[in-house]
Structure formats: structure tokens, C-alpha cells
Amino acid sequence: MGDKSRYRKMYPISWEQLQRDCRALSWRLMEKGPWKGIFAITRGGLVPAAIIARELDIHVIDTICLSSYDWKNQGSANILKPVQSDGEGWLLIDDLVDTGKTAQIARDMVPAAHFATVYAKPEGRPMVDTFITEVSQDTWILFPWDAASQFVEPIVQVSD
């Protein structure tokens, strides 16, 4: 999850919102296609890539396997699986661009691909060709696969 001390805000995303945002991204990407396939940056890009593949009727999906978010070293990345393409005519999909460090590694792997993310933060935004929602750099985006439903105290009890 990286160094949480740099995040002052939390932006929770529901499954429904994620699907709506991925569909909105698909509309933007449809105008820029047609696409040969999708490179999904694992793991965060897998769910958005599946939704976008459905919406754009793309059946060829590959992965760019990077390990960059660990508990201590956000931004340092390990390439776990190389690819054999420069990405020409392909989409490169991730859930989020944060600092841009992981994005730079992925872009270097497939420099001709069109890089699209659902969410973008200011530091990483210049790395992305197309995105839907920008959030501040100090916001932690809580994706639905990282969250669970739980009881929350009523506002009147919390404000006592």
C-alpha cells in the first residue's frame, strides 16, 4: 500500500462507479481505435482491461507484469514478464497513474501503445494519453477489490 503518511484523503470507489468510469473511458478510446489488443498492467489494470475489452469488443489481451506497490517501496518496480511488441495499435491499461514511475517502466516496454488509465494524479498525469478522473496527489484511491463492507457509526454518534 506504500507509505500511507503521504495520503491525507481517502477516495473510495464502488464496483458500480468503477464500471461507469471504465465505460466512460471506453467511449473516449473508441474514437481513437480500432485496437489490435490490450496490455493490462497487473494487477490493478486487470479489472479495467476486462471491462474495456468487453465494451470495445477486444479479444486479444496480454499482461505487463510489474510489481511496484509493496509495503515499503512504492515506485520501485520489478518486471516479472517481458513482452514481445512495441505496442503499435494496442491499448496499455491501468487503474491509476500515481507518481508515474510504474507508468514509465510500462511505457518503455511498449512505447507505441496508447496508455489509458481510469484515474490519474498530477505527478503521473503527463505519462497518460487518456484518463477519466483526476484526484489530488495526497488522495488514496480505495479500489473495491481492496475494501470490504463494514458497519459505520451514525454521524450523530461520531460527533459526540
The three-state secondary structure class of 25 is helix
- Secondary structure element (H or E) that encloses residue 101, with its range: helix 101-109
| Contacts (Cβ under 8 Å, ≥6 apart) of 93 | 38, 39, 40, 41, 45, 48, 49, 52, 116, 117
What residue ranges in 5-67 does DSSP mark as E strands? 9-12, 37-42, 61-67
> Could you give the residue numbers annotated as active site?
94-95, 98
